[in-house]
Copies of this chain bind each other. A is one copy, B any other.
Amino acid sequence: MPKTSEERRLPRKEYEARVPDLRAALVQMQVDLKAAPFPVLLVIAGEEASGKGEVVNILNAWLDPRGVETFSFHEPTDEERERPAMWRYWRSLPPRGRMGIYAGSWYTEALRDDPRSPRELTDFDHVLRRIAHFERLLSSDGALIVKCWLQLSKEAQRERLRELEDDPRTAWRVSPEDWKSHRDHDRLARLSERLRRATSKPGAPWQVINAADPRRRNLAVGDYLLKRFRTHLAAHNRIPAATKPRRVTSLHLSGLHRLQSLPLNQQLSGEVYEEKRDKWLGRLNHLVRAAAERRRSVVWVFEGWDAAGKGGAIRRLTDAVDARDYRVIPVAKPTDEEKMHHYLWRFWRHVPRAGMVTIYDRSWYGRVLVERIEGFCRENEWRRAFGEISDFERQLTEHGIIVLKFWLQISKEEQLRRFRDRENTQYKNHKINAEDWRNRRQWRAYEAAVGDMLASTGNRTVPWHLVPANNKRFARLQIIKTSCQQIAAALEG
């Protein structure tokens, strides 16, 4: 068969003449990247013997190793296995201004199982959808995702394997599995096409690169990376900064109505409360331990107005859980490391190990509340967040984690009473500051945002539990009871 121009080998001299300029451009790219507000993810995937490892090493030689990190994923560690599948990739993500080269990636794992039966292929498709979602999440946050698929025809693959075997320095790299996969070339090529079709999306397209000639292949990867980077940087500079919206208006009145129609005038005597509380706390203790025995984790999410009683409710809950088994994550301003990442990164960090409990005191919902209202993110960002958050929670529940989320609702008058009480009681003084008063002045804006949150992020698996919290005793008891019911249902289900 006559060779195409792409398969004809590029003479070494021509290659060496081109490399210095490419290297200089790549290093310049790294300089520009340092100041850029996005990370670069470069995924190198492809057929057996297409030279993925070589490409990764060449790129690392060309680049300044100080701004780049290379990842490959072997068997998940036990800490990784105990979390949802994407956790190990979240923890590897480069921060803004830096670059990650993925020698192994989420694709390696998707292909590892070598799906064949219709059922396996359905699972495969599911994994691919999850990957596409992951990449869309990152790319819409600004990440530059560059994916190269190194392709070899069956003939070129055979030639390449022979070449490797013939050279004593590389012979060790060819294993019987490589020949097996070579014999299976056509089926695997169809499988990888299915993979690329399912995951080639705007913002994360696949670039297929002919890998028959290693020199052309190296240049093609470098050129493509550069081209994508330049386009991306130029586009990014045109994005306007986020600004504080003049008004916050409801997208969905249904959520607002649900919030406003919640009766808040419950009464509960101290005596009845204590008796019921102890009964339910005992139950809760039992249920959390039963969940842990089945390696099921529990994630509690608490949101609510300032002074709605989140702290107190959490204290009651934790009375029922062994202190060695839970962590409370108070969510305030992100740290500067957290700011360098996608807004969900800092919550992924704290996803509990199997059988453990994480309690988020405020949470990812800050994206659609304070960030929306204060203009810390752009409108398209918080609008997108509703779906992103639902998907995040779905990943938790699919892994078997029981997710319980509560909104603590108080009236504006009740808040005022509590603020004043905090100001007038010396030991509560530290619990109130100017920001609380500022937030209070934006009550209507928050109400609209909370309503939208309720309408857009609750579903049957992870519903919002609205808790009337003007009466603290009533609120605490309801939280404990609801938690019991939900955990019991999850363990039965």
Contact = CB atoms under 8 A, between A and B. Distances in A.
Interface of A: 24, 27-28, 31, 34, 53, 56-57, 59-61, 64-72, 77-79, 101, 103-104, 311, 314-315, 318-319, 322-324, 326-328, 330, 335-337, 359, 361, 427, 430
Contacts of A361: 66
Contacts of A69: 327-328
Contact of A324 (B27, B56, B65): B56
Contact of A328 (B53, B66, B103, B330): B66
Contact of A323 (B60, B328, B359, B427): B60
B27 A315 contact: no
Given A77-B79, A314-B66, A61 B319 contact: yes
A427 to B, nearest CB: 6
Contacts of A104: 324
A104 to B, nearest CB: 7
The 4 closest A-B pairs by CB, nearest first: A60-B323, A72-B324, A70-B323, A66-B330
Contacts of A31: 430
Contacts of A57: 322-323
Nearest to A67: B330
Contact of A78 (B78, B101, B324): B78
A323 B430 contact: no
Given A66-B311, A66-B328, A335-B336, A322 B427 contact: no
A314 B70 contact: no
Nearest to A70: B323
Nearest to A61: B319
A489 to B, nearest CB: 25
Question: How many monomers of this protein are in the complex?
Answer: 2
A427 B24 contact: yes
B78 A318 contact: no
A77 B101 CA distance: 27
Given A66-B330, A70-B323, A328-B66, A315 B61 contact: yes
A4 B27 CA distance: 76
Contacts of A59: 323
Contact of A65 (B27, B72, B315): B315
Given A27-B427, A318-B60, A427-B24, A103 B324 contact: yes
Nearest to A80: B79
Given A56-B324, A65-B314, A65-B315, 15 more contacts: A24-B427, A34-B430, A53-B324, A57-B323, A59-B323, A65-B318, A65-B328, A67-B330, A69-B327, A70-B326, A72-B324, A78-B79, A79-B79, A335-B335, A335-B337
Given A323-B70, A335-B335, A427-B24, A64 B318 contact: no
Contacts of A311: 64, 66
A55 B237 CA distance: 56
Nearest to A319: B61
- Report which residue of A24, A60, A66, A323 has the largest number of chain B beta carbons within 10 angstroms of its beta carbon: A323
Nearest to A430: B31
A382 to B, nearest CB: 25
A91 to B, nearest CB: 11
Contacts of A318: 60-61, 65
Contacts of A330: 66-67
A364 B94 CA distance: 23
Contacts of A68: 328
A34 B336 CA distance: 19
Nearest to A66: B330
A105 B315 CA distance: 24
Contacts of A61: 315, 318-319
